[in-house]
Amino acid sequence: MARGKLRIYLGAAPGVGKTYAMLSEGHRRVERGTDCVVAFVEHHGRPRTEVMLHGLEQIPRRELEYRDALFTEMDVDAVLRRAPAVALVDELAHSNVPGSRNAKRWQDVEELLAAGIDVVSTVNIQHLESLGDVVESITGVRQRETVPDEVVRRADQVELVDMSPQALRRRMAHGNIYRPDKVDAALSNYFRPGNLTALRELALLWVADRVDEYLNAYRSEHRVSAIWGSRERIVVGLTGGPEGRTLIRRAARLAEKGAGGEVLAVYIARSDGLTSASPKELAVQRTLVEDLGGTFHQVVGEDIPAALLAFARGVNATQIVLGVSRRKSWQYVFGPGVGATVARDSGPDLDVHLITHGEVGKGRGLPVARGARLGRVRIVWGWLVGVAGPAILAVLLNTVELGLANDMLLFLSLTVAAALLGGLLPALASAAVGSFLLNYFYTPPLHRLTIADPKNIVAIAIFVGVAVSVASVVDLAARRTHQAARLRVESEILSFLAGNVLRGETSLEALLERVRETFGMESAVMLERESDVAPWTCAGSAGLGRALERPEDADVDVPVGDHLALALTGRVLPAEDRRVLAAFAAQSAVVLDRRRLQEEADRARTLAEGNRIRTALLAAVSHDLRTPLAG
């Protein structure tokens, strides 16, 4: 049987008309010929709501006696026997009278949904469990009846029922919500304009987050890579310099201009660690962006502009805020800079803001070659072969006469060796040094930088062209080999997950240890919490790293749903490693669920065994007693 669909009318405050809207929906469905009944609706003596009940079939309520008083609750069995297509159930967060079938009404609704009955229900924003503390701090009233956020988030449709504070207070003053003797007290306490405005903002933000979840799920399912500017998301590119504070504040002002704007600060470090910023300055900037309501992210990437754009498109950002380069004028010979490259490659759907600051033109370090994948030792040997090798070869060739063609081949072999060892830049340096030495020592007129024979000019030009081409091809082959090795390792890891984990052959601790070893981390911890406001607890750990109390304290954290997170300490992982880490995190959650199901099965097996022993004992005793009783 297919599960029923849940539609929820979410009220921004009591009295905005969510029950009225639900009953109106019931009348519309009945007019369309749908079998719709009222399972439970409380009109609270409001005349207009009571009138809306006319014309709708109502399931009789169940009467329960508690502490010498008679109460009525929804009769779940009667609704299941009636088996309508749609049931209207008011007050989803209501706590049932002790002795009822379930403790909470949302649990009654779950039974109806499991039976294939569509349910239309209502709930106020202040009854969501994760907002209990916030609502108490605003209104001073602690909500005793709450519903888990996940129940509302799982609803197929959530419609916000909203009303301005002024209109709601007028409804209250006219007696449309409470009895006249309670109006003055309500207007001066819970229904103050400030309280209603804050509750309204909470409801709007909660619904906006849920719509954002739907949008991300849709983009993921349909593989939409283009940016959809549904809400302003501003990515701030940080370099770790002091200008980062200016950029964060400017981005926060830009976000304030658009309703629901979000600021995401990201620092992209190279994997070799040579361009790492001051940890102290980054900590200050992280605190600043979090104080302004944003989030801080740190990823690793070889190509900073490409990594920044990939991050921005991954979070569906609409704007990027960057600082004007701190490099001096002569340093632009190494390239246009990150800001210009990002602006050039951003495309029409992503706006780039270049912000001036006090550090412009004060200089920064020289760009570092992208050779971390080869290792520092190989890079050093590449530079030695590319720069010192031609000089040594020139000294040796001065003692032997081999001809210009053979000399060029020998210098070309050094360029190829430099490319194999150190990559592109050492090979280019070798080509430049080799062409200079060929011109100076072996091309007439000797020991001059001029060339008399035009054929020699062509020969040296061909040498430089071949050297650069060979160096580029060798460097490209090295990068492709590196990528192939990464893909092979990733395939092995995913094969491991699809095998041992899914067959249940790996415990949570063993899986976390595999995560720690795979990524070279100090520790790996699976954290969980019961609700959005509950403290984090450790469900499993591996390694001897520092103890973690929350995911934000880790070097790398991967959320798994709303209440689970995989946290690792040791170092910041490159962006490409997070794809495999996300698979590990998902499988860790599966292993945790399997372990708990196994524990529940063991407890059930123990109880069943005890019941069998008890039944056998009672049967034996009753058999022994039957004979004397018969006598």
Give backbone dihedrals phi and psi of 97, rounded to 5 degrees, phi first: -65, 140
**Based on the domain organization, do 534 and 398 belong to the same domain?**
no
Average pLDDT, stretch 548-568?
82
Which DSSP state fits 126?
Answer: G
Same domain, 207 and 254: no
Stretch among 11-20, 243-252, 273-282, 365-374 having the lowest mean pLDDT: 365-374
Q: Say whether pLDDT at 85 is over 80.
A: yes
332 pLDDT higher than 60: no
Q: Are residues 42 and 141 in the same domain?
A: yes
For position 374, what pLDDT does the model report?
Answer: 57
Strands of the sheet containing 233-238, edge to edge, are 295-300, 262-269, 233-238, 319-323, 351-355
Q: Are residues 286 and 348 in the same domain?
A: yes
Taking the C-alpha atoms of residue 441 and residue 429, their distance in angstroms, rounded to an integer, is 18
pLDDT for 456-494, tens place per residue? 677 777 777 777 787 778 777 777 776 666 666 566 666
pLDDT, tens only, 227-249:
554 567 899 988 877 788 888 98
Cα angle, residue 455 at apex, residues 449 and 461 outer, rounded to 5° = 65
Distance CA 378, CA 302 (A): 18
- What percent of the chain is modeled with pLDDT above 70? 79
Dihedral, CA of residue 498, residue 503, residue 505 and residue 508, to nearest 10 = 70
Stronger pLDDT, 615 or 502, i.e. the higher one: 615
The 3-state DSSP class for residue 135 equals helix
Residues 52 and 186 in one domain: yes
Q: Distance between CA atoms of 495 and 364, rounded to whole angstroms? A: 45
- Structural domains in the chain (count): 4
DSSP tag of 65: E
Peptide bond into 390 cis (omega under 30): no
- Asked if 252 and 329 sit in the same domain, the reply is yes
Task: Tell me which amino acid residue 108 is.
Answer: D
Q: Within a domain: residue 315?
A: yes
Same domain, 159 and 11: yes
pLDDT band at 627 (very low <50, low <70, confident <90, very high): low
pLDDT value of residue 122: 94
Confidence band of 34 (pLDDT split at 50, 70, 90):
very high
End of a domain among 191, 221, 251?
Answer: 221
Average pLDDT over residues 144-168: 88
* Residue 273 pLDDT grade (very low, low, confident, very high; cuts 50, 70, 90): very low
In a domain, 488, yes or no: no
Please tell me the predicted confidence (pLDDT) of residue 277.
60
Q: What is the pLDDT of residue 123?
A: 93
* CA nearest neighbour of 120 among 86, 97, 69: 86
Is 392 in contact with 410 (CB distance < 8 Å)?
no
How many Å apart are CA 569 and CA 251, to the nearest integer? Answer: 30
Are the C-beta atoms of residues 366 and 331 closer than 8 Å to each other? yes
- Does the structure show a pLDDT above 90 at 84? yes
- The reply to whether 70 and 206 lie within a common domain is yes
Domain at 176, CATH number: 3.40.50.300
Pair (212, 257) in one structural domain: no
**Cα(268)–Cα(26) distance, integer angstroms:** 54
Q: Are residues 192 and 44 in the same domain?
A: yes
Residue 366 lies in a domain: no
Q: Which of 110-124, 180-194, 313-327, 353-367 has the highest mean pLDDT?
A: 110-124
Chain centroid, CA 17 distance in Å = 35
454 or 427, which is more confident: 427
Residue 297 belongs to a domain: yes
> What's the mean pLDDT in 438-452?
71
Task: Answer yes or no: is 470 within a domain.
Answer: yes
- Residues 401 and 343 reside in one and the same domain: no
Q: pLDDT of 572-589, one tens digit each? A: 777 667 767 777 787 788
Closest-CA residue to 74 (of 51, 27, 43, 42): 42
CATH for 586: 3.30.450.40
Instruction: Give me the amino acid identity at 255.
Output: A
The enclosing domain of 274 has a CATH number of 3.40.50.620
pTM summary value: 0.44
- Integer angstrom CA distances of residue 357 from 249, 252, 303, 457: 12, 16, 24, 49
Q: Is-contact 88 62, C-beta < 8 A?
A: no
Assess if residue 97 is contained within a domain: yes
- In angstroms, the CA 249 to CA 253 distance is 6
Angle at Cα 388 formed by Cα 387 and Cα 394, nearest 5°? 105
Distance in angstroms (rounded) separating the CA atoms of residues 472 and 514: 37
Strand partners, 38: 58, 88
Q: Which of 479, 398, 471, 492 is nearest to 438 (CA)?
A: 398
With beta carbons less than 8 A apart as the criterion, state whether 494 and 583 touch.
yes
Tokens 């400030």 belong to residue: 194
Q: Is residue 361 part of a domain?
A: no
**What confidence score (pLDDT) does residue 591 get?**
79
Task: Answer whether residue 72 is part of any domain.
Answer: yes
Yes or no: say if 4 and 120 are a contact pair by the CB < 8 Å rule: no
Residue 211: predicted pLDDT:
61
In angstroms, the CA 396 to CA 364 distance is 41
Q: Write out pLDDT tens, residues 375-434.
A: 567 778 888 888 888 888 888 887 777 777 777 778 888 888 887 777 778 888 888 888
Residue 381 and residue 346 share a domain: no
Containing structural domain, residue 433: 375-479
